[in-house]
Amino acid sequence: MSKLLVIGETRDGSLRNVTFEAIAAAKKIDSDGEVVGVLCGNGELESQANEMVYYGADRVIAIKHDNLKTYTSEGFGQAIMAVINDESPAAIVMGHTAIGKDLTPKIASKLEAGLISDATDIEVDGDKVVFTRPIYSGKAFEKKIITSDITFVTVRPNNITAFDRDESRTGEISSKDVEVTDIRTVIKDVIRKVSEGVDLSEAKVIVAGGRGVKSEDGFKPLQELADLLGGAVGASRGACDAEYCDYSLQIGQTGKVVTPDLYIACGISGAIQHLAGMSNSKVIVAINKDPEANIFNVADYGIVGDLFEVVPMLIEEIKKIK
């Protein structure tokens, strides 16, 4: 039986949802393979390990070390390489996140293995596994296969459906001692400038604002709408450049790439750089005063009107339904 490693990623003590999607992706690569979760940290990892089992992992290896308190590519790289050397996996899967984009190329290089990054779909064609990934800022897609001995892939959040959580599932949870040395980077403190609530990159609903919000206060109704829908607030670069919001909210070619179930664009013209970050959303709703705005070319539903009139109306209607 082949082994498939899934590298788990935590944030604030909880597993990111893309970890569960990576487990489902591993099963797509080899439905008969053994999915082995890997967690790194310096504290309690048992609850996160159990969650990986509930979402489909067959067993989980927890690596604890003081040098794994916060992420560094050197520390995590050493720990995960030790597991790879022991397990000899046929595939390694991780989320295409900031950490995934930093860590996986370094491990792949050491293994002299090919790496499929930002996969949005996985299909089995006979004895081949075909990966789909976007190119040219999402304007096109390519299909690729791995020819090296190890299949190495990162999956884009919100594209591969995770398995249902099942607390009846059981799996072995073991700890592994790894010597993590020669750390040249020391993290003294982590200061995050992110919005509260739902993680933007994993949000199922995003309400985004552009220059049309006109001010920092203009984002308040967008935040109210996002809260009602259980989503997150995003922004175009124009809104960030105008200092209406922090750059941590930026969506686009030079910001975050998101694929929510519902994307509501408010006062966003639809520059190609912004579309590169959100055009693969499942449903796009555009609200703009300009009927010729480019955002309407990619929108599934368009509302021509003042966002400061339309958004409050949406909020009231949603409150009635709830």
- Binding residue ranges for FAD: 211, 236-237, 250-254, 267-274, 288
E-state strands within 192-261? 205-209, 232-235
Largest Cα–Cα separation, the chain: 61
Query: Which two tokens mark 304?
Result: 């021509």
User: How far is Cα of residue 20 from the mean position of the Cα atoms in its chain?
Assistant: 11
Contact 233, 209 (CB under 8 A): yes
Binding residues, as ranges, are 211, 236-237, 250-254, 267-274, 288
Tokens 């520059």 locate to 271
Task: Let me know: does 74 contact 184? Beta carbons within 8 Å.
Answer: yes
Determine the residue type at 127: D
Q: How far is CA 129 from CA 26, 28, 237, 299, in A?
A: 11, 9, 37, 32
* Amino acid at site 3: K
